[in-house]
Structure 1
Amino acid sequence: MNEASDPSRVIHLNQRLDPASERVGELLGSVRSIAGKRLQQWVGNAFEHVDDALFDLAEKAENNAAQMHYFDGMREVRKRRPAVERSFLGAISRHIGELPHPQLSGNPASPFGTPELTLVADNELEESLAITSMISKNDARLARELFTVNQRLSVICGGRKIEDSSNPVAPAILAQAFRQALHELSADMRVKLIIYKLFDRYVLSSLEELYQEINTELVRAGVLPQLRHEVLRGDAKGAGPAAADATDEATGEIPSDLLQTLHALFSARRGPAAGGMHAIPSGPLPSANELLGALSVLQSQIASAGPLPYAQPDDAAALSREVLQLKGQLLTQLGALRGEKPSNVATIDEDTIDLVGMLFEFILEDRNLPATMQVMLARLQIPYLKAAILDRKLFAHRQHPARRLLDCLAEQAKSWSEESDRDRRLHDKVKSTVDQLLHDFDNDMGIFERLLVDLQQFQDLNKRRSELAEQRVAESTRGREKLEQARRRAAREILDRIGEHKLPPLVHGVLARAWANHLVLTLLRQGEGSPEFKSALRFVDDFIASTKPATTLESRQALRQMLPGIERALRQGLANVAFQEQDIERLLGQLHTYYRQQLGETPEATEAVVVGEDAAMLAIPDSIQPVIDQDTTPPDSVEEDLVEAPLDSPEWHQVQSLQPGTWLEFCLPDEPMTRAKLSWISPMSGRYLFVNRRGLKVADYSPQDLTVLITDGHARMLAANALFDRAMTAIVDKLSQPGTTPPADTATE
C-alpha cells in the first residue's frame, strides 16, 4: 500500500510531529539524501566549467601578468576544489539535520550570519552584491515550488515555521553556504566572481528539479499529500487566466463569457445616451443581407483598383485611417443602396463591426509583423467583417478556418524580411492570398478553408527546405565548435605542461604549432581516452624534459636514450598533420643540431646552428597554423564578458528562457532589419545560433552578447502565440481602460 493512501500515515497541516521522533529522522534523512546527491552532481558540473571560463579569459588577457593571474586561478581551483565541495555539502547536510533543533544552529533565520551594514572592502561588497543578486532572482523564480517544500518541512519540524531564509535547500542558504566554502580558495575576487556565475548557472538554476523530487518523496511518505502550491508570494493573480487559457487551448473555444464581456464593454463605452449609431431609429435597421451587400460593393471597389502593388511600410498610416473610417463608409453605402442613410444598425452588428475594426487596428500596430506585411494583411478588413457577419462563430472558435487562415498568414509574415525573401516568394504568396479573398469572396465561407490548405502546403514545402538548410548550418557550427574545443584542449594541455619552463624557440614552436595540431586531429579522430592521445601527451612531457640542461654524465646518457623515441614520435605526428618528407628531415636536422649542443658536442663546421628566435618558423611550413600563438579570438565561452553583461536583469532572464524556435528581430546599426529564428543552443559553448526563414545562418551570439543587444534595443523577441489570441487580449485590455473611445464614435463623425 502506498504510504500516502494510508490514513494512519498521512501528516496534515494541523498535525505536529515530535522533533525527536524516529519518523522525523527518517523523513529528514530522505531529504538529506536527495539534496546531497543532486547538489554534489550540480556543484561538480559547475567546477567542470571553471577551467574553460578562466582559460577563455586568459586567452584574451591584455598582458602576460593578467594571463598568468587566470592560469594561477585555474591551478588553485583544481587543487582546492575537493575541499570546497566537502565544505559546501557538509554545511547543507548539517543544517538539514539541525532543522528540528534550531537552537543548535545559532540564528535559525540565517545560519551563516548576515553581513552588518558597515564599511567593507570593495571585494567583499562585490561578492555580497553577486550573492544578493543570485538569491533574489532565484527566490522569485522558485516561489511556487519552494512554498510547498517549506510547508512540508514545517510540519516535519513540529510546526516550527520554515521560510526561504531558514530552509537549507533554499537559494539563500545554498548561496551563503557556498560563499563560506569558497573561503577555502586563496584566489582573488575576479576568479571567485566567475565561480559564482557558474554556481548560479549550474546549481541554483536547477533547483526546481530538486524541489520537485523532495516534494514527490514527502508526498509518497504521506506529508501533506493534498497540498498544492496555491500561494504565490507577493502576487496571487495570474493563475486563473493561465489555467483558463490552457483549458481553452484544449477545447479550441474561447470562453463564452469573453464574448459577453466584449459586448458589455462596447455597451458601457457607448453609454445609454451615446449618439451615432445609437440615435433614435428613423427607419428599420439594416438586415444582415443589406450589410453584406454594402460591404461587397466596398470590397469590389478595392478589388477593381487592380492587383495590390508591392506594399510599402509608409502605407500603414493611411490604412489605419481607412480602418477607422470603414463604419462611416458602410453607413454611406447602405444609404446609397436604400435611398436613405440609416442612423444606426443592430447592436450585435455594431459590436461585430467594432470588433473587426479593432482587430485590424491591432494588426497595424502589431510589432510582431513587419510593416510591409501589416499593410497587406490590413486589406482584409472587409472580407473578415463579411465573414464575421456570415458566421458569428468566427470569434468564438480557435479552429474556425477564417481565423486559422489569418493566424497562418501572420505566422508566415512574422519570419519575413527583405534579405530572406529576395525571390519574393513569400511576399507574393501572402499577396496572392489577400488578392483572392478580395476578388473571390462573396458568401462562400469555404474559400477560407481552401486558401488555408493551399497556404499550409506552401508552408510545408518551404519548411522542409529550410529544415535541411538549418540542419546543415547546425552540423557545420557543431563541427567548428568541436574543432575549437579540441584546439583549446590541446593548447591547455601543452600550456599546463610547459608551466614555468623557459623553452628554446625551436622546441616551443614545434609544440605550439605542429604538435598542437597533431593533438587536435588525434582528439577529433580517436578521442581523449584513446591510447594515441595519451601517447601524444607523453611526447610533450618527453620533449620538454629533453630541453633540461645535460650537465652530468647521467643526464647526457638519459638524453641520448630519449632522443630515438622523440624522433620516432615526431616523424609519426608530423606526418599526421601533412608535413612533407623534406620538411620533416629539415626540422629533425635542426633538432639534431640543438641536441648536439645540449650534449656538449661540437657541430660540424658545415652545419648551420639554428636555435634562435626564427628557428621554429624556419623548420615548420607556413601551411601549419599555430594553435597557441595564433592572433585570433576563439569562440566566446559561456563566461565571456561576465562583468559587462547584466546577468541579473530582466533581459538576461529573457535570454536564459529562450527556446529553439523562438523568433527575434534584429535592428543593428547600419544594417537592414532582419528576422531570425533561434535554431540551436550549443551544449559546448552555450552560444545561440540564429537562422532566417530559409534556414540560412544569420548570426550566432553568446548569451551575454544577446542580452546586451536586447538591453540596447537592437534585438527583441517576437511573440510565439497566435495573432488572433494576442489581438483579443489586447482588445479586452484596451476596452477595459478608463476613457477608451470605441471605434463607433470616430467612425460616424
Structure 2
Amino acid sequence: MQTPPFVDELPSRNPDLLNQVREGMLLPLSDAFAAELDAAGAGLFQLADTAAPALQKEYLDAVQELKRDRESLVARFRAHLARAWQALEAGRPLSVERTLARGNDLTLVAEAELEVRLAVRNLAGAIQQAWRPELMRLDRYLGFIAGGMRLDSDSNPIGPEHLGVAFYAALSGTRLAPRAQLATVRVCEPGMVERVGRLYASLETQLLAIARASELPTGRARRRGIPGQARSARAEADWISRFFSHWQGGQRAPEAGHAIDVHARAGHELLPAELHRLLQGARAGGDPGAAGDGRRVLSPREMASALSLLQTTPHAGFEEIDRGGDLRAGLRGQLLAHGAMLGIDPASVRMDAADADTLDLVAMLFQAMLQESQVRADLRPVLGQLLVPVAKVALQDPRLFVRDSHPARRLLNLLADACDGNPGETAAELALLAQVQAVAGRVARDFDEHLGVFLQAESEFGAYFEQYRRRVEIAERRAAELQRAEERRVAARTLAAGALEARMQGQALPPVLEGFLRRPWVQHLERVALREGAADGPATTAALAAADGLLRACAEPAARDDAWLERQRPVLQRIYTEAGLAPDSADAATATLLDVLRGLRAADLPAPELPPTPPAPAPVDEAADSPLPDEPPEQVGFDMETAEYFQSLPLGTWLDFVDRFGQVQAGKLAWVSPISGRRMFVNRRGARFCVASPEQLATMVRLGRLRLHRDEDAFYSAMQSVVDSLGTPAAA
C-alpha cells in the first residue's frame, strides 16, 4: 500500500482549528444520539400498542434493552466517529461504503440486516436532504483545514453517512431483534435530523466567522520616531487600522492560486470609500474617472487587455512609465496608449473612478517602495517591471491590501529586501541579484491572471533568499565576536595601564623593580584581565596584590616580610617567563629582584634585558569607513532624549546612515557592548559598519545624518508612506 504523505506537510493544514472542530462536534453528536435513545422509548411504546402480539413483545423488550445498554450504545456510536476523525487527521479519510462492506464485498447479507442498513442510509439521506447547503460548505471548509483534501458525503467524518454507520455500529452490538433495530432507527430519525442539523448550522457559523476574521488584517502600532527629528502631526493609527481593519469589500475574491476573473468585478469593492476619497483628492491633472463628459467607461476586459499588452513590452513598459518621474500619470498614460493599439480611441473613453484610484495606489506604492529602499539605478526597472502585473492583481483581487500572506505581496517584500542596500560587490550579492532579475522577469513574462505564477516564484526565491540570510547571520555573529574581543582587549589594556600609572606615580624605584612593573607585570595583568573579563577576578586581584606587596617591601624595609617574598618566587618566575625569558634567565631575574628588595644587592642594578615584545593585534580603524562625525558629541551637542532613545533601541532595528557626501547606507543594530555600552551596526552583508555610543548617534541625528530605515515589511512601509502623503495638505 502506498504510504500517505506526511500530514504536517499537507497544504493549508490547520491542526488547531481541526482540534476545535473535533471538540465542538464529536461529543455534541454523541449527546444528540444519547438524547434520541432516551426519547425512543415513548415511540416504541406507541408502536407496541398497535403492533401484533409477536412484535409487541420485541418492542417492549427493546425499550428495556435500550435503557439497560444505553452507555454501551453511546460508546460504540462515539467510537466510530472518533475512528473516522482519526483517519481524516492521518490524511486517509474513511470511506462509508468500505466500512459497511467490512472488507467482504461478496458476502451475502441477511434480509433483516439489509433492512437495518437501508434504514440508517435513509436516516443519512434525510439529514443530507434537510441540510444540503450547510453540508456542502462544511465539506469544503473541513477539507481545506485538514490539508486541502476533497471531502464528500462518503468521507466527511461528521457527515450524515458516517453518522448512519455510527448508528448501525451502536445497534449491531446489542441483543435487539432486527425488527426492533429497524423500528428504533425510524423512531429516532426525525429528532436526529433536527438535532444534527442545528449542530451543522452552528459549526458553519463558527467556521465562517473564523474565515472572515482571518481575511481582515490587524492594525499595527506606529513606530516611534527618533526624538529630535521632524515628525508628522498625523494620528498614530496605521493605514490598516484607518481603512482595512473592518472593511468587508474584499471577501468575495478568489482563493490564492486560482485564476482571477478579468471580465467581471463580481460586485466587490476594490478599496474602502475613505481611501477612494483621498486618492481622488490627491490626483494630479484632473480626474480621469469624471462622469458627465460623454466618454464611455473602459470595461474590465479592455483594461486587462491593455495592461496585458503593456506587460509584453521590455521591463513591462516601466522605463516609459517612469520617464516623467510620476508613476501614476505614467501608468495611466501607457494604459491608454496601449489601449489605442487595440483599437480603443483614447479621446472617447475614460477610466472608472475606482479603477483609476486602484492604479494610482499601486503606482504610488511602487514609487514609495523604490524611494525607501536603497536600490541601485540599474535595478530600478528590474523591480519596476512588476508594477503592471501587480496592478492587474489589484484590479481584481482586493486581498492584496488586506492579507499580508498574499503571494504577490510576499514576493514584493522578498525582492525589495534582496535589492535594498545590495551593491553587488561580492559573488554572493551578484548571485542574489541575478536571482532577483530572473524571478522578476519570469513574473512579468508569464503572469496571465493566475496567482500560481506569484506562488511559485515566491516559494523558489524565498528558499534561495533564506540560505543567503543564514550566511549573513553567520557574518553578523562573527562581527559581534570580533568586536567583543576587541573591546575586551582594550578594557584589559586600559586596566593594566591605569594600575601601573597609579602605582608608579611619585615613586623612585630601583631599576630592577621598575623594569619588572613596566613590562612583565603589566603584560601579565593585561592577560589575566582579558581572560577573566572582569576587574575583580581572582587572578586579576592576585596580580594587583603581588605588585602592591613588592612596592611595600621596597618602601618599608623594616616591615619587610621575607617569607612572603619567598612565596612569590614561583609567581615572579612565571611572569618573567611569560615576558619571553628562558627558564634559567627567568630564575636569575627573579633572584636578582628578590635580593634587591631584601637589600642583599645594590639597588641600582639594571633590569634584565627582555626579548622584544611581539606586536599586538592592530585595532580596527573604525574611522576609515565609519559615518560618524569627526567632532566629539560634547562639541557638536546632542539631545538627552535622543540619546536615551538609542539606549533603549532594540536589537535588529535598521537605521539609515548618511555620510558627508549624502550617500545613504542602511545599518542594523546587531550588538550592544556590555563594557562600553556602544552599539555595533552591520551592513546588509553582515559586516561591521559602525560602532557608536548613544551620544554619538544623537549627535548624528542633530546633524541630519541619521534616520529610521523603512519597516521590515516593505509593502506595509510603502503603504504607510503613501497614506501619510495623501493626508498632507500639500498632496491634497
Name the TM-score, length of structure 1 as normaliser.
0.55
Select the residue among 317, 337, 343 that pairs with 1:338: 343
Tell me, yes or no, if the aligned pair for 1:253 and 1:398 is still in contact at 8 Å.
Answer: no
Q: Which residue of 1 aligns with 2:469?
A: 463
Q: Which residue of 1 aligns with 2:275?
A: 262
Select the residue among 658, 670, 685 that pairs with 1:679: 670
Partner SS for 2:669: strand
Partner SS for 1:424: helix
1:400 maps to 2:406 = yes
Tell me, yes or no, if the aligned pair for 1:278 and 1:343 is still in contact at 8 Å.
Answer: no
CA distance in structure 1 between the partners assigned to 2:248 and 2:579 by the alignment: 61
1:623 maps to 2:613 = yes
Select the residue among 298, 302, 317 that pairs with 2:310: 298
Shift in CA distance, 659/696, structure 1 to aligned 2, threshold 3 Å: same
- Which moves more between the two structures, 564-573 or 495-504? 495-504
Tell me, yes or no, if the aligned pair for 1:419 and 1:674 is still in contact at 8 Å.
Answer: no
CA distance in structure 1 between the partners assigned to 2:391 and 2:721 by the alignment: 19
The residue correspondences of 1:283-322 to structure 2 (distance < 5 A) are 284-303=296-315, 318=323, 320-321=325-326
Q: Which residue of 2 aligns with 1:570?
A: 572
Cα deviations across residues 419-473 of structure 1 (Å, max 9, x unaligned)? 4677512222222222112111121122112222222212211122122222222
Q: Which residue of 1 aligns with 2:490?
A: 484
Partner SS for 2:689: strand
- How far the C-alpha of 1:248 sits from its partner, in A, is 7.3
- How far the C-alpha of 1:249 sits from its partner, in A, is 8.8
Q: Which residue of 1 aligns with 2:647?
A: 656
1:543 maps to 2:550 = yes
Shift in CA distance, 352/625, structure 1 to aligned 2, threshold 3 Å: closer
- How far the C-alpha of 1:717 sits from its partner, in A, is 3.2
Partner SS for 2:351: coil
The residue correspondences of 1:296-445 to structure 2 (distance < 5 A) are 296-303=308-315, 318=323, 320-321=325-326, 324-341=329-346, 342-366=348-372, 369=375, 371-419=377-425, 423-445=429-451
Shift in CA distance, 657/393, structure 1 to aligned 2, threshold 3 Å: same
Cα deviations across residues 224-283 of structure 1 (Å, max 9, x unaligned)? xxxxxxxxxxx9987762697599799999999972212122344569x95644264656
Tell me, yes or no, if the aligned pair for 2:270 and 2:358 is still in contact at 8 Å.
Answer: no
Q: Which residue of 2 aligns with 1:520?
A: 526
Shift in CA distance, 445/481, structure 1 to aligned 2, threshold 3 Å: same
CA distance in structure 1 between the partners assigned to 2:292 and 2:243 by the alignment: 42
CA distance in structure 1 between the partners assigned to 2:248 and 2:471 by the alignment: 30
The residue type paired with residue 663 of structure 1 is W
- How far the C-alpha of 1:734 sits from its partner, in A, is 2.8
- How far the C-alpha of 1:317 sits from its partner, in A, is 6.8
CA distance in structure 2 between the partners assigned to 1:505 and 1:675 by the alignment: 55
Q: Which residue of 2 aligns with 1:28?
A: none
CA distance in structure 1 between the partners assigned to 2:507 and 2:568 by the alignment: 19
CA distance in structure 2 between the partners assigned to 1:352 and 1:346 by the alignment: 10
Tell me, yes or no, if the aligned pair for 1:663 and 1:677 is still in contact at 8 Å.
Answer: yes
- How far the C-alpha of 1:327 sits from its partner, in A, is 0.8
Shift in CA distance, 250/641, structure 1 to aligned 2, threshold 3 Å: farther
Shift in CA distance, 626/299, structure 1 to aligned 2, threshold 3 Å: closer
- How far the C-alpha of 1:662 sits from its partner, in A, is 1.9
Q: Which residue of 1 aligns with 2:154?
A: none
- How far the C-alpha of 1:530 sits from its partner, in A, is 6.0
Percent identical: 27
Select the residue among 693, 717, 731 that pairs with 2:722: 731
The residue correspondences of 1:68-467 to structure 2 (distance < 5 A) are 241=237, 245=241, 259-268=272-281, 276-278=288-290, 280=292, 282=294, 284-303=296-315, 318=323, 320-321=325-326, 324-341=329-346, 342-366=348-372, 369=375, 371-419=377-425, 423-467=429-473
Partner SS for 1:705: helix
- How far the C-alpha of 1:511 sits from its partner, in A, is 1.7
The residue type paired with residue 403 of structure 1 is R
The residue type paired with residue 678 of structure 1 is L
Shift in CA distance, 535/352, structure 1 to aligned 2, threshold 3 Å: closer
CA distance in structure 2 between the partners assigned to 1:669 and 1:346 by the alignment: 48
Partner SS for 2:555: coil
- How far the C-alpha of 1:680 sits from its partner, in A, is 0.6
CA distance in structure 2 between the partners assigned to 1:681 and 1:382 by the alignment: 44
CA distance in structure 1 between the partners assigned to 2:321 and 2:522 by the alignment: 59
**Alignment gaps of 5+ in structure 1:** 1-234, 604-608, 742-749
The residue type paired with residue 265 of structure 1 is L
The residue type paired with residue 338 of structure 2 is Q
Tell me, yes or no, if the aligned pair for 1:522 and 1:532 is still in contact at 8 Å.
Answer: yes
Tell me, yes or no, if the aligned pair for 1:678 and 1:689 is still in contact at 8 Å.
Answer: yes
- How far the C-alpha of 1:294 sits from its partner, in A, is 0.8
Tell me, yes or no, if the aligned pair for 1:421 and 1:427 is still in contact at 8 Å.
Answer: no
Partner SS for 1:698: strand
1:718 maps to 2:709 = yes
The residue correspondences of 1:578-589 to structure 2 (distance < 5 A) are 578-581=580-583, 583-585=585-587, 587-588=589-590
Tell me, yes or no, if the aligned pair for 1:254 and 1:398 is still in contact at 8 Å.
Answer: no
CA distance in structure 1 between the partners assigned to 2:538 and 2:279 by the alignment: 77
Tell me, yes or no, if the aligned pair for 1:323 and 1:360 is still in contact at 8 Å.
Answer: no
CA distance in structure 2 between the partners assigned to 1:475 and 1:735 by the alignment: 45
Cα deviations across residues 21-56 of structure 1 (Å, max 9, x unaligned)? xxxxxxxxxxxxxxxxxxxxxxxxxxxxxxxxxxxx
**Alignment gaps of 5+ in structure 2:** 1-230, 252-268
Cα deviations across residues 656-690 of structure 1 (Å, max 9, x unaligned)? 34322122344434797643322111111112222
CA distance in structure 2 between the partners assigned to 1:689 and 1:666 by the alignment: 13
- How far the C-alpha of 1:304 sits from its partner, in A, is 8.6
The residue type paired with residue 539 of structure 1 is A
The residue type paired with residue 580 of structure 1 is A
Cα deviations across residues 152-179 of structure 1 (Å, max 9, x unaligned)? xxxxxxxxxxxxxxxxxxxxxxxxxxxx
CA distance in structure 1 between the partners assigned to 2:337 and 2:720 by the alignment: 31
Tell me, yes or no, if the aligned pair for 1:349 and 1:389 is still in contact at 8 Å.
Answer: yes
The residue type paired with residue 339 of structure 2 is L
Shift in CA distance, 586/431, structure 1 to aligned 2, threshold 3 Å: farther
CA distance in structure 2 between the partners assigned to 1:473 and 1:431 by the alignment: 30
Cα deviations across residues 330-387 of structure 1 (Å, max 9, x unaligned)? 1122233135334312221111122222222323433555555444322322111111
Highest CA radius of gyration, 1 or 2?
Answer: 2
Tell me, yes or no, if the aligned pair for 1:469 and 1:694 is still in contact at 8 Å.
Answer: yes
Shift in CA distance, 513/373, structure 1 to aligned 2, threshold 3 Å: farther
Q: Which residue of 2 aligns with 1:700?
A: 691
Aligned length: 477
CA distance in structure 2 between the partners assigned to 1:738 and 1:474 by the alignment: 45
Tell me, yes or no, if the aligned pair for 2:270 and 2:394 is still in contact at 8 Å.
Answer: no
CA distance in structure 1 between the partners assigned to 2:472 and 2:405 by the alignment: 27
Q: Which residue of 2 aligns with 1:118?
A: none
CA distance in structure 2 between the partners assigned to 1:280 and 1:678 by the alignment: 56
